[in-house]
Amino acid sequence: MEISSHQSHLLEQLNEQRRQDVFCDCSILVEGKVFKAHRNVLFASSGYFKMLLSQNSKETSQPTTATFQAFSPDTFTVILDFVYSGKLSLTGQNVIEVMSAASFLQMTDVIDVCKTFIKSSLDISEKEKDRYFSLSDKDVNSNGTEHSSFYSSSWQEESSSPHPHLSPDQGTGGVSGKSWSKYNYHPASQRSTQQPLAKHDQRKDSIKKTKHLRLSQPPEVANFKSSKREVRTYESSSHISQSEEQAQMDAEMDSGPVGYQYGQGSDVTSRSFPDDHPRMQFKCPYCTHVVKRKADLKRHLRCHTGERPYPCQACGKRFSRLDHLSSHFRTIHQAYKLICRKCKRHVTDLTGQVVQEGTRRYRLCNECLAEVGIDSLPIDLEAEQHLMSPADGDKDSRWRLSEDENRSYVEIVEDGSTDLVIQQVDDSEEEEKEIKPNIR
């Protein structure tokens, strides 16, 4: 026999105990404000606390204290209220900081809700939403919550390793003495967190990891991806009514715009970036990257969303940035080195072809091509297909091929002065499949 109200009642009781400071065995100090809580509850709700308390599980006799300085008491209030009630009070003003705090505290549910909240307000995310929420492998948890696919895939792929570099022992102040008192949370701008990856780009994992570790920063830094992975591995006890949450989020969205500006108020700026003067900052909701310009954030976000709106008209390979497409086109399709890779003789497009081998493209003269074998797929044939039938999502006239440009790739190659034809398209599923082999 099961009493359905038991869980909520229990949580209410715990929340009441917290308010009255009854049996609270944990103090969290956030910018001078002390929050009382129960270790058990924190342990069960946050991967961060779980690990910290696990490290100090033998020291249960002493009340513990944690100190955070990067997020505000208000933010932690939202977090703590969620822990004890399952209700997350998100607004356009606090969502970034709540998400940042949640990512540090490894609270997956909160992150997901924040992510959805932000995503729904992002103009660039419209088509991405379609992709992630309808086309890609949906990840629906027990509450019916949808997770963006790249998050879930990342977690699943690497769910085995406990985060190696997020250890309380490596903490900023370290875990002092018997407990984790003085365990400080570094400002977001100083953290090196792992960025969630686009699902198709697993290789970047190692790239970014190495890069970020090298660039940074204190070793105690929480790895964003691995943190979430860890949290997911743990059985999170923090539940949230998604329908309620969605309704709340919708209400929030209706109430006002959600900006990415991080630190509109000097309070936020000075808190999160203590070394900086109060100025406009744009913080990535997926990682701790901070940029000065909104356009740069928009560009940066593509590395998280996997959006590649710039397909190469010659080979179909897609790029997240126009300048990368231009660079690709110059180096690959406007080949300056008109020499046969094999015999090193000068070769034109009449006497040879551009051959693709894996990600490499090079020229071979017809003779060497015959020696190598007919099986080598001339890239030109493939490219011709693309040029002859531009992508369907060509909604913007400025991306359209001009009459002069709208000729076969063979023609273009023959004159040796191929012009870059740029076309911005939607990321439809079909196209995604079509070009997938080209995306590494």
Partner DNA sequence: CTGGGGAGGGGGCCC
Partner DNA sequence: GGGGCCCCCTCCCCA
**Of the two residues 229 and 333, which places its CB atom closer to DNA in the complex?**
333
DSSP structure string for 108-160: HHHHHHHHHHHHTT-TTHHHHHHIIIIIS--EE-TT--EE-HHHHHHHHHTTT
Residues 103-162 that bind DNA (CB under 7 A): none
Among 31, 74, 276, 296, binds DNA (CB under 7 A): 296
Among 295, 370, 377, 388, binds DNA (CB under 7 A): 295
Q: How far apart are the first and last CA of the chain?
A: 53
Piece of the chain touching DNA by CB under 7 A; list 48-56, 97-105, 322-330, 426-434: 322-330
The b/e string for 300-313 (b: 16+ C-beta within 10 A; e otherwise) is bbbbbbbbbbbbbb
CA atoms of 420 and 66, how far apart (whole Å): 56
CB of 203 to DNA, least distance (A): 5
Piece of the chain touching DNA by CB under 7 A; list 28-36, 50-58, 317-325, 402-410: 317-325
CB of 325 to DNA, least distance (A): 8
Among 178, 292, 344, 345, binds DNA (CB under 7 A): 292
CB of 211 to DNA, least distance (A): 5
Residues in the chain, total = 440
Contact between 334 and 327 under an 8 Å Cβ cutoff? The reply is no
Q: Which residue bears the tokens 């190659």?
A: 413
DSSP structure string for 254-285: HHS----EE-SSHHHHHHH-TTSPS--EEE-S
Piece of the chain touching DNA by CB under 7 A; list 52-60, 296-304, 370-378, 427-435: 296-304
Region at 416 (left for phi over 0; alpha for psi -120 to 50; beta for the rest)? left
Q: What is the DSSP letter of 184?
A: P
CA atoms of 302 and 321, how far apart (whole Å): 9
Among 44, 322, 338, 339, binds DNA (CB under 7 A): 322
Q: What is the DSSP letter of 417?
A: -
What crossing angle do the helices spanning 108-119 and 224-233 adopt, rounded to 10°? 120
Residues 177-206 that bind DNA (CB under 7 A): 201, 203-204, 206
313 binds DNA (CB under 7 A): no
Among 300, 314, 386, 435, binds DNA (CB under 7 A): 300
Do β-strands 318-319 and 33-37 pair in parallel, antiparallel, or remain unpaired? unpaired
**Of the two residues 129 and 299, which places its CB atom closer to DNA in the complex?**
299
399 alpha carbon, distance to own chain's centre: 28
Residues 356-375 that bind DNA (CB under 7 A): 357-362
Least Cα distance to 412 among 328, 333, 319 occurs for: 333
Among 9, 178, 279, 293, binds DNA (CB under 7 A): 293
294 binds DNA (CB under 7 A): yes
Among 323, 371, 392, 415, binds DNA (CB under 7 A): 323
Helix (H) / strand (E) element for 291: namely strand 290-291
CB of 161 to DNA, least distance (A): 16
Residues 385-404 that bind DNA (CB under 7 A): none
CB of 295 to DNA, least distance (A): 4
CB of 341 to DNA, least distance (A): 7
Contact letters for DNA, residues 199-238 (x by CB under 7 A)? --x-xx-xx--xx--x------------------------
**Of the two residues 182 and 342, which places its CB atom closer to DNA in the complex?**
342
Q: What is the DSSP letter of 59?
A: -
440 alpha carbon, distance to own chain's centre: 17
CB of 423 to DNA, least distance (A): 11
* Sign of the CA dihedral with 139 first, then 142, 144, and 145 last: negative
SS3 category, 352: strand
Among 262, 317, 387, 418, binds DNA (CB under 7 A): 317
CB of 67 to DNA, least distance (A): 28
277 binds DNA (CB under 7 A): no
Piece of the chain touching DNA by CB under 7 A; list 136-144, 218-226, 327-335, 401-409: 327-335
Phi/psi of residue 378, nearest 5 degrees: -65, 130
39 binds DNA (CB under 7 A): no
332 binds DNA (CB under 7 A): yes
Q: What is the DSSP letter of 22?
A: -
CB of 131 to DNA, least distance (A): 16
Instruction: State the chain's maximal CA–CA distance in angstroms.
Output: 86
Q: Which residues bind DNA (CB under 7 A)?
A: 201, 203-204, 206-207, 210-211, 214, 289, 291-296, 298-300, 302-303, 317, 319-324, 326-328, 331-332, 357-362, 439-440
